[in-house]
Structure 1
Amino acid sequence: MSEDISEPGEGNSPAAWTAVIIMLLAFTIGTIAFFFDQPVIVWASVGLLVVGLIVGKVMSSLGYGVSGSKLTPKEH
């Protein structure tokens, strides 16, 4: 049984994990701030959400994405 190696994967890369962790943190902070009626912190968490997206894109372009040059794929 042979697998197609050219498949991009499921996003299991340092860039994807970093972006997701930053965005989860932003969402959590924003939800708690919304509950306590702190609009400034809610909007700051929206900004952090955008930062997470940018960090993921930048890391991916630096070679830490799924098919990046600095990523060493692990056999499962």
Structure 2
Amino acid sequence: MSGSAHGHTTAAWTAVTICFIGFMLAAVAMVAPWPVLVVVGLVIAAVGPIIGKVMSAAGFGKKVDSAHAPAGAQKTPVGSGVSS
């Protein structure tokens, strides 16, 4: 798993950090009865993955490594009638 650099990107760390902050805010607000702050924390936690996707699309995510793809590896759809 460590060879694929799964989750070791700026976009992934930012998304997880935002979600963590949102869930911690919601958890504290549940103990101290502040229902509005619970909702705010959950909204912050829901925004985390969206920001992660936007950052990934902006180039802060995992880079596509085309060196490991086999040359000429094209998949044919199942049931296409093409036999090999």
Give the TM-score normalised by the residue count of structure 1.
0.75
Which residue does 2:34 correspond to in 1?
38
Over aligned residue pairs, what C-alpha RMSD do you find? 1.4
What residue ranges of structure 1 are gaps of 5+ in the alignment?
1-6, 69-76
Listed as ranges, the matches of 1:1-76 within 5 Å are 8-67=4-63
Which is greater in Rg? Answer: 2
Structure number with the bigger relative contact order (C-alpha 8 A, sep ≥ 6) is 1
Q: How many residues align?
A: 62
What residue ranges of structure 2 are gaps of 5+ in the alignment?
65-84
Q: Among the aligned pairs, what percent are the same residue?
A: 37
Give the TM-score normalised by the residue count of structure 2.
0.68
Tell me which stretches of 4 or more aligned residues in structure 1 moved more than 6 Å: none
